[in-house]
Amino acid sequence: MESRRKRVLIAEDNPALSRVLEFNLTKGGFDATVAPNGLVAWQHATKEHFDAIITDQQMPEMTGVELCQQIRSLPRYEKTPIVMLTAKYLEMELPKIRDELNLSATFPKPFSPQRVVHEVQQLLVV
């Protein structure tokens, strides 16, 4: 019996970065779905199931914080691991945001895509 690959939603408006994350997550054993902004990610999250979510903070249509608030409002995503990526790492009140949104991890940009994949693997015990 073959086990199902874990699914990861990537909300990232930078096409090059989203491709790098998608490539590394796929190579790491995940099925990755890319959304070019928070609104499209929200639409995916309401129609499909994801085991983990990676989101950028600064995106058009809906920020990463807004996306996380929406996702956490859905009972099926209350405990889903969420990883936030941000170029505004030093400007955000990350401890407060981490607590309020129950974020699993945060990464300042630039970051190592392999470290993000490793973090997701640890969170999902792959």
Q: Which CATH number goes with the domain that contains 90?
A: 3.40.50.2300
Contact indicator for 115, 108 with CB cutoff of 8 Å: no
Provide the domain limits for residue 112: 7-124
- Does some domain include residue 1? no
- Does some domain include residue 45? yes
Q: Residue 8 forms beta bridges with which residues?
A: 32, 52
Which amino acid is located at 44 in the chain?
A: H
pTM (predicted TM-score): 0.91
Q: Model confidence over 8-50: pLDDT tens digits? A: 999 999 999 999 999 999 999 999 999 999 999 999 999 999 9
Q: Can you tell me whether residue 107 is helix, strand or coil? A: strand
- Does some domain include residue 2? no
- Does some domain include residue 115? yes
- Does some domain include residue 26? yes
Beta carbons within 10 angstroms of residue 72's beta carbon: 17
Q: Model confidence over 94-116: pLDDT tens digits? A: 778 888 889 999 888 888 999 99
